[in-house]
């Protein structure tokens, strides 16, 4: 195994592009180092991107959104008061991952690139409308987060490509988001189902919405039918039932040791309702 | 058995000083199994079978041996033939012979100059397997078409006509079942299952073995019982027991699972093959879950009859348990304790010990008792519901008491079940209001406890302190308890007592810290050794004063003349006598050895409140109360810790812990992420009430408390979920998908 410590994303991309074997990028390392130690995967080239300038920065974009470096940890996000106030659902999703120790290292980009359908930070990013900056041999491009994972452990990233930043759009007025996951325990577990809802109100009526589901399909999924079910409503009981139905209908989960198809499909609807209510209340609070 | 001579007023017993090992543990100074290192040490690694059941056709280690840094490879060919009984079982489990019997079964082991080289070398060992049909479920393993795991494994107890996988059979009872069921106003029959659960100790197995070509050596190991490790390891290697000396490390949990051997004989065999280089072996969590002993899984049928006013008239139980590929599922204990809480005239138990393609089970806290309690206490709860009876009053009506002939035979001496039920009934938790989707469950449980081979020494030191040497590793605060008992016996401060866990070279044979025996048996041995010392201390004072030793008494840490007739001398403290002992006759020490038989069982009653999310089936523990008889609590904080620990493990077993096997016979969840023990935030602070009905067989009245606490939680939680949801679920764990299916009527 060769260890590399590039000082720019272009250099990182060049090293990755030149490798003949398995490569892994090291940011937080909470997946890569665990896989190494557990003898699940030993990359031929391990490319440490923590030393590239700016990777630990959380900064405002010109349009009022946020740009997060790829080595920003969950703990740094949670402790960032403005970011947490604007995007509580997205930040909570990240905060649910692992223990306090893991939170000191784990990153949004790492959680996304690990490619797990159950990644807790991903539905929140999708619902928020986040994009990933992908840097590669042909320069950089912006890719919607929902397009990054393509299946369990797989991403759209080509050889020599890596994520160089995550961009969160401007919150805007009267908005709120929420993320809920179902686990049998209270901590230290992997989502059996995850659901994120992000919406904006016009008065009491939902004007815009994005709903994403995790752990119920090969990738986390943006579900337009769920958004359609609640846009133009005040989230009355009939709307919530319609939302639950749409969420369950969007599921194509697997049966495994963590949950059955039937259970995951049902609970996706339950979580969609609960997350929508929280997001709605947060948007109301924001507009009060 | 009156309590004549038993102390009732104490100065140190019942206080809660800091544990002597506490500072070492919180500062990292304590040395656990993997912390032991030696110059020139090699590192071991094990190749494990990926198959549930396979014939080992050929093992070729030549590529591994060619790797730079690899010093030795051992396979079964490096172990002697001709073992039988449990010795053969241990050898076969430590290293597979003709067949790999479960996913994770050791097939070869390597010693190399670094852990990474050893790990890489393991991958270079080539094994030809002929994969065989497998079975991992207890009921499936008893069916006619089940693959035979080993012909001839059954003992004399098994009736003809049963599948060869049934290896032991138990049948016991008394009275007239037909008459008993005829007297019942209500009879309920149910079938139940529980899954295999792992002890879940945080510290993986670790050892450092060193053995020369002469077959002599040493072993440093994380264990609950180093004399057991010595006997088992040498038996597996075919050498004399005392050829090795075994020193225990600090231990990060065991719960019964560290009373046997896995990697220890392998490290010694590797060391011998390298000409005596020390070989360290440390298991990964994956290895711990796949290849060490979880407890047995169970399938059970219960039939019980009750009168309208709550009297149990008859009880019948059939218990089928698998404990992996070897005999040993604790179904004997399961049948013994199934109905032991109650005074039942007509009772019958049948038990089947069945082998399957799973790892060899090991002891786990009250082995065999929690499964039986789940089945019987759930059935009693259902009887109480149908008849409109209070669960505590009904248990009080049937409770075993002093003089009751136990369902397993002997008459009970003084026991505390009634006292635990009464304390639970008056505790505020039993009358706390419940909200929607909430329910309360009650269950009682029992563990009979144990004495066992015990040897201890106490030495007086020249600085006036006392050093206690015992042979039971401190797994739950027993050094603090020994120090308190020694302080009480001598009448000296707790801080003036040092406690050692001695190696196998320093004391006579000691059984492990198992069977809830350490505080009882090593405690008794400590007190008796102290009394032996006190006699010698009094003699030194008598010699100095020129009076008869019989005229000297020991009081408040001092030798004193027994009265005015003995003479007028100022008391001599322990420190004074100790300071002079070099010139008054030499060192002073006391000893005790016995297999004390005065142990007595501990009953407990648990009350739990749960809330079940009706939309997801997820259970939250709202309140939890443990009431248990400790006889006499030596260090009440550690007694409470045992109560709480047992409850926490039982709650995990009830709600989420389970061994999950795939169609391929491989363990699906050999990692703590998916083998779900409760995390701290899953549990409320567990309330405790210590009941003290003294055990007449111990000088201070001690009963072991370690195991009873895991017995009631399984039925208590299930009974609470029954009340919260209206659904009786007879299969553990109560994972959310299962509870939701029951709520939705699909269960």
In chain B, where the domains are located? 22-30+451-594, 368-449+600-743
Calculate the average pLDDT of chain A. 96
What percentage of residues in chain B have a pLDDT greater than 70? 99
Of B616, B656, B672, the CB nearest to A182: B616
Query: Does residue A172 carry a pLDDT above 60?
Result: yes
pTM to 2 decimal places:
0.97
Nearest to B290 by CA among B733, B677, B669: B669
Distance of CA A29 to the CA centre of its chain: 17
Contacting residues of B for A259, CB less than 8 Å apart: 737
Q: Where in chain A is the domain with CATH 3.30.465.10?
A: 2-116+131-168
* A253–B contact, CB cutoff 8 A: no
Instruction: For residue range B53-109, list pLDDT tens digits in order.
Output: 999 999 999 999 999 999 999 999 999 999 999 999 999 999 999 999 999 999 999
Q: What is the DSSP letter of B175?
A: S
* Average pLDDT of the segment spanning B601-628: 98
Q: Which residues fall within 8 angstroms of residue B308, CB to CB, at 6 or more apart? A: B185, B186, B387
Residues A260-264, mean pLDDT to the nearest whole number: 96
Q: Does CATH place domain A175-287 in 3.30.497.10?
A: no
Q: Give the Cα separation of B213 and B80 in Å (integer).
A: 15
pLDDT-derived band of residue B517, with 50, 70 and 90 as boundaries?
Answer: very high
Phi, psi angle pair for B52, to nearest 5°: -75, -30
Looking at chain A, the domain(s) classified CATH 3.30.390.50 span 175-287
pLDDT at B747: 63
The reply to whether residue B679 touches residue A185, judged by beta carbons under 8 angstroms, is yes
CB–CB of A257 and B660 under 8 A?
yes
CATH of B22-30+451-594, one of 3.40.50.620, 3.40.50.10490, 3.30.365.10, 3.40.1160.10: 3.30.365.10
pLDDT digits (tens, 9 = 90+) for B28-41: 999 999 999 999 99
Provide the pLDDT for residue B329: 98
* Mutation site, A188, A241, A260, A273, interface B, largest B CB count within 10 A: A188
Three-class SS of B57-68: EEEECHHHHHCC
Residue among B448, B496, B455 at smallest CA distance from B472: B455
Question: What would the DSSP string read from start to end of B309-358?
Answer: TS-EEEEEEEEEEE-SSSS--THHHHHHHTTTTB--SEEEEEEEEE--SS
B616 touches chain A (CB under 8 A): yes
- Report the DSSP pairing between strands A45-48 and A2-4: parallel
Query: Which candidate in A192, A257, A269 is best for mutational testing of the B interface (most B CBs within 10 A)?
Result: A257
B735: chain A residues, CB-CB within 8 Å = 184
Tell the residue number behind the tokens 């020994």, with chain if given.
B482
Do residues B395 and B716 make contact, with C-beta atoms less than 8 angstroms apart? no
Which residues in chain B are contacts of A182 at CB distance < 8 A?
616, 618, 736
Radius of gyration of chain B (CA): 27
Average pLDDT score, chain B: 97
Q: pLDDT of B159-175, one tens digit each? A: 999 999 999 999 999 99
Question: pLDDT of B397-425, one tens digit each?
Answer: 999 999 999 999 999 999 999 999 999 99
Task: For chain A, say whether B120 makes contact (Cβ under 8 Å).
Answer: no
Which residue is associated with the tokens 């549990």? B683
Length of chain A measured in residues: 288
Helices B391-398 and B417-426: angle between axes, nearest 10 degrees: 160
**Position of tokens 């299916």?**
B741
Chain A positions touching B618 (Cβ under 8 A) are 182, 184
Predicted confidence (pLDDT) at residue B721 exceeds the cutoff of 50:
yes
Instruction: Please work out, in degrees rounded to the nearest 5, the angle formed at the alpha carbon of residue A110 by the alpha carbons of A270 and A213.
Output: 15
Place of tokens 């309702």: A273
Q: Which residue has the tokens 């579900």?
A: A223
Rounded CA separation B469/B459 (Å): 8
B636 Cα to chain A: minimum distance (Å) = 30
Task: Bin A193: left if φ > 0, else alpha if -120 < ψ < 50, else beta.
Answer: beta
Instruction: Say if CB B360 and CB B93 are below 8 A apart.
Output: yes
Which helix or strand (DSSP H or E) is residue B404 part of? none
CA dist B335 and B101 (Å) reads 27
Contacts of B292 (CB under 8 A, 6+ apart): B198, B205, B257, B262, B283, B359, B362
Q: Given pLDDT bands bounded at 50, 70 and 90, which one contains residue B5?
A: low
3-state secondary structure of B140: helix
Can you name the residues that pair with A210 across neighbouring β-strands?
A198
| CB contact A260 to B (< 8 Å) | yes
- Classify B557 as helix, strand or coil: coil
**By the CB < 8 Å criterion, does A263 face chain B?**
yes
Contact A245, A274 (CB under 8 A): no
* pLDDT tens string B652-668: 999 999 999 999 999 99
pLDDT band, residue B1 (cuts 50/70/90):
very low
Residue A13 backbone dihedrals phi, psi, to 5 degrees: -65, -40
Interface A-B, measured as beta-carbon pairs within 8 A, has a size of 53
Can you tell me the distance from the alpha carbon of B218 to that of B260, in angstroms, rounded to the nearest whole number? Answer: 17
Can you tell me whether residue A250 is helix, strand or coil? coil
**Residue A124 contacts residue A92 (beta carbons within 8 Å):** yes
Residue B740, chain A, CB below 8 Å: the answer is yes
Q: Does B531 touch chain A (CB under 8 A)?
A: no
Test the B interface: residue of A36, A180, A258 with most B CBs within 10 Å: A258
Query: Rounded to an integer, what is the distance from CA B618 to the centroid of its chain?
Result: 29
Q: Distance between CA atoms of B204 and B207, rounded to whole angstroms?
A: 10
**Residue B390 pLDDT greater than 50, yes or no:** yes
Contact A184 B656 (CB under 8 A): yes
Residues of A in contact with B680 (CB under 8 A): 187
Q: Quick one: DSSP state of residue A73?
A: B
Phi, psi of A15 (to 5 degrees): -60, -45
pLDDT over 60 at B4, yes or no: no
Q: Residue ranges of the alpha helices (H) in B170-209? A: 177-182
Residue A40 contacts B, CB cutoff 8 Å: no
CA atoms lying within 13 Å on the CB side of residue B81:
2
pLDDT over threshold 90, residue A120: yes
Cα–Cα distance, B58 to B75 (Å, whole number): 11
Q: How far apart are CA B179 and CA B184, in angstroms?
A: 9
Q: For B727-744, how does the pLDDT look when each residue is reduced to its tens digit (9 = 90+)?
A: 999 999 999 999 999 999
Answer yes or no: do A185 and B678 touch at CB < 8 A.
Answer: yes
- Measure CA A200 to chain center: 20
CB contact at 8 A, B480 and B19: yes
Let me know if the fold of B22-30+451-594 is the same as that of B368-449+600-743.
Answer: yes
Please report, for residues B505, B671, B725, the alpha-carbon distance to residue B678 in angstroms, rounded to integers and kept in the order given. Answer: 39, 14, 22
Phi first, then psi: give them for residue B265, nearest 5 degrees: -65, -30
Q: What is the ipTM of this complex?
A: 0.95
What integer pLDDT is reported at residue B179 of this predicted model?
Answer: 98
Q: How far apart are CA A141 and CA A133, in angstroms?
A: 6
Of A184, A187, A188, the CB nearest to B735: A184
Class level of CATH domain A2-116+131-168? alpha beta
| pLDDT, mean of residues B689-699 | 97
Alpha carbons within 13 A on the beta-carbon side of A50 = 13
Residue B610's pLDDT is what? Answer: 98
Q: How far does Cα B287 stand from its chain's mean position?
A: 20
Residues 66-125 of A with CB under 8 A from B: none
Q: Is B674 close to A257, i.e. CB distance below 8 A?
A: yes
- pLDDT exceeds 50 at position A188: yes
Is B673 within 8 Å of chain A by CB?
Answer: yes
Query: Using 50, 70 and 90 to split pLDDT, how confident is the model at B2?
Result: very low
Answer for the pair B298, B319: CB distance below 8 angstroms, yes or no. Answer: yes
Helix or strand (DSSP H, E) at B147: none
Domain range B368-449+600-743, CATH class: alpha beta
Average pLDDT over residues B429-436: 98
How many Cβ atoms are within 10 Å of B685's Cβ, its own excluded? 8
- Could you tell me which residues come within 8 angstroms of residue B602 by beta carbon, excluding any fewer than 6 positions away? B416, B446, B447, B449, B516, B628, B629, B630, B631, B703, B704, B705, B707, B708
Residues in chain B: 747
Q: Which residues of A touch B736 (CB under 8 A)?
A: 182, 184, 192, 263
Mutate to test the interface with A, among B737, B742, B743 (most CBs of A within 10 A): B737
Least Cα distance to B363 among B413, B329, B400, B392 occurs for: B329
Asked whether the beta carbons of residue A184 and residue B678 sit closer than 8 angstroms, the reply is no
User: How far apart, in whole angstroms, are the C-alpha atoms of residue B209 and residue B604?
Assistant: 41
Percent of chain B with pLDDT over 90: 98
Q: Phi first, then psi: what are they for B665, rounded to 5°?
A: 80, 10
Q: What is the mean pLDDT of the segment spanning B487-496? A: 98
């Amino acid at each position: 195994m060769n260890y590399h410590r590039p000082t720019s994303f272009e250099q990182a991309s060049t090293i990755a592009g030149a490798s003949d074997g398995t490569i892994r990028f090291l940011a937080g390392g909470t997946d890569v180092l665990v896989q190494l130690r557990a003898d699940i995967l030993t990359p031929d080239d391990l490319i440490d991107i923590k030393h590239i300038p700016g990777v630990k920065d959380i900064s405002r974009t010109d349009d009022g959104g946020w740009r997060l470096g790829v080595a920003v940890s969950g703990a740094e996000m949670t402790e960032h008061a403005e970011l947490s106030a604007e995007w509580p659902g997205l930040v909570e999703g990240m905060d649910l991952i692992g223990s306090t120790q893991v939170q000191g290292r784990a990153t949004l980009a790492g959680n996304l690139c690990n490619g797990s359908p159950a990644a807790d930070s991903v539905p929140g990013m999708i619902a928020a409308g986040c994009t990933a900056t992908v840097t590669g041999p042909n320069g950089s491009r912006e890719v919607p987060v929902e397009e990054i994972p393509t299946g369990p452990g797989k991403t759209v990233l080509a050889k020599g490509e890596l994520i160089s930043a995550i961009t969160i759009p401007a919150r805007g007025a009267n908005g709120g988001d929420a993320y809920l996951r179902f686990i049998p325990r209270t901590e230290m577990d992997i989502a059996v189902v995850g659901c994120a809802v992000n919406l904006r109100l016009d008065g009491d009526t939902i004007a815009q919405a994005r709903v994403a589901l995790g752990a119920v399909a090969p990738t986390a999924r943006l579900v337009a039918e769920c958004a359609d079910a609640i846009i133009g409503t005040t989230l009355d009981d009939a709307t919530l039932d319609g939302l639950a139905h749409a969420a369950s209908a969007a599921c194509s989960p697997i049966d495994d040791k963590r949950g059955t198809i039937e259970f995951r499909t049902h609970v996706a609807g339950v979580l969609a309702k609960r997350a929508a209510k929280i997001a709605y209340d947060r948007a109301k609070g924001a507009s009060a | 058995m009156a309590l004549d001579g038993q102390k009732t007023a104490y100065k140190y017993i019942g206080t809660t000083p800091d544990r002597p090992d506490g500072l070492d543990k919180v500062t990292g100074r304590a040395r656990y199994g993997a912390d032991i290192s030696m110059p020139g040490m090699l590192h071991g690694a094990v190749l494990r079978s990926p198959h549930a059941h396979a014939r080992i056709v050929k093992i070729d280690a030549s590529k591994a041996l060619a790797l730079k840094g690899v010093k030795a490879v051992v396979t079964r060919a490096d172990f002697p033939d001709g073992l039988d009984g449990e010795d053969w079982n241990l050898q076969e489990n430590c290293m597979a012979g003709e067949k790999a019997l479960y996913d994770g079964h050791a097939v070869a082991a390597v010693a190399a100059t670094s852990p990474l080289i050893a790990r890489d070398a393991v991958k270079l060992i080539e094994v030809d397997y002929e994969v065989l049909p497998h079975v991992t479920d207890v009921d499936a393993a008893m069916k006619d078409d089940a693959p035979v795991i080993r012909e001839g494994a059954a003992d004399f107890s098994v009736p003809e006509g049963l599948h060869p996988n049934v290896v032991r059979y138990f049948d016991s009872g008394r009275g007239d079942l037909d008459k008993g069921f005829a007297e019942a106003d209500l009879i309920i029959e149910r079938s139940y299952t529980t899954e295999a659960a792992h002890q879940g100790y945080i510290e993986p197995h670790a050892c450092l073995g060193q053995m020369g070509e002469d077959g002599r050596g040493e072993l440093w190991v994380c264990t609950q019982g180093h004399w057991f490790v010595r006997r088992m390891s040498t038996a597996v290697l075919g050498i004399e027991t005392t050829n090795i000396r075994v020193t225990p490390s600090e231990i990060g949990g065991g719960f019964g699972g560290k009373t046997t051997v896995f990697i220890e004989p392998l490290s010694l065999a590797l060391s011998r093959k390298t000409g005596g280089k020390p070989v360290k072996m440390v298991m990964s969590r994956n290895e711990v879950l796949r290849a060490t002993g979880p407890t047995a899984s169970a399938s059970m049928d219960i039939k019980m009859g009750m009168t309208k006013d709550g009297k149990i008239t008859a009880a019948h139980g059939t218990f089928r348990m698998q404990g992996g590929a070897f005999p040993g599922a604790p179904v004997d204990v399961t049948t013994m304790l199934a109905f032991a809480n109650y005074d039942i005239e007509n009772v019958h138990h049948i038990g089947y010990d069945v082998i399957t393609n799973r790892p060899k089970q090991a002891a786990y806290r009250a082995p065999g008792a929690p499964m039986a309690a789940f089945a019987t206490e759930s059935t009693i709860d259902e009887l109480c519901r149908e008849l409109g009876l209070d669960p505590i009053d009904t248990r009080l009506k049937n409770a075993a008491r002093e003089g009751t002939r136990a369902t397993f035979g002997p008459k009970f001496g003084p026991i505390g079940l009634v006292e635990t039920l009464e304390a639970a009934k008056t505790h505020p938790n039993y009358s706390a209001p419940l909200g929607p989707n909430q329910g309360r469950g009650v269950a009682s449980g029992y563990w009979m406890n144990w004495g066992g081979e015990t040897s201890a020494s106490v030495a007086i030191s020249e600085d006036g302190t006392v050093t206690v040497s015992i042979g039971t590793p401190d797994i739950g605060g027993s050094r603090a308890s020994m120090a308190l008992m020694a302080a009480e016996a001598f009448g000296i401060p707790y801080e003036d007592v040092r406690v050692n866990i001695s190696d196998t070279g320093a004391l006579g044979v000691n059984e492990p810290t198992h069977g809830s025996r350490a505080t009882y048996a090593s405690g008794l041995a400590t007190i008796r050794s102290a009394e032996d010392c006190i006699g010698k201390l009094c003699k030194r004072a008598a010699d100095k004063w020129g009076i008869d030793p019989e005229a000297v008494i020991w009081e408040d840490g001092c030798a004193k003349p027994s009265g005015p007739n003995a003479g007028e001398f100022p008391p001599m403290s322990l420190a004074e006598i100790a300071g002079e002992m070099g010139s008054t006759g030499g060192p002073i020490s006391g000893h005790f050895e016995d297999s004390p038989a005065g142990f007595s069982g501990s009953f407990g009653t648990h009350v739990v409140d749960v809330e079940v999310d009706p939309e997801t089936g997820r259970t939250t523990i709202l309140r939890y109360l443990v009431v248990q008889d400790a006889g006499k609590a030596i260090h009440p904080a550690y007694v409470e810790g045992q109560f709480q620990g047992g409850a926490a493990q039982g709650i995990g077993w009830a709600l989420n812990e389970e061994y999950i096997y795939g169609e391929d016979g491989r363990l699906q969840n050999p990692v703590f992420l998916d083998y779900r023990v409760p995390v701290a935030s899953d549990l409320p602070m567990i309330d405790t009430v210590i009941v003290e009905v003294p055990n007449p067989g111990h000088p201070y009245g001690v009963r072991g408390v370690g195991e009873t606490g895991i017995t009631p939680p399984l039925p208590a939680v299930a009974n609470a979920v029954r009340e919260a949801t209206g659904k009786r679920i007879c299969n553990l764990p109560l994972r959310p998908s299962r509870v939701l299916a029951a709520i939705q009527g699909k269960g």
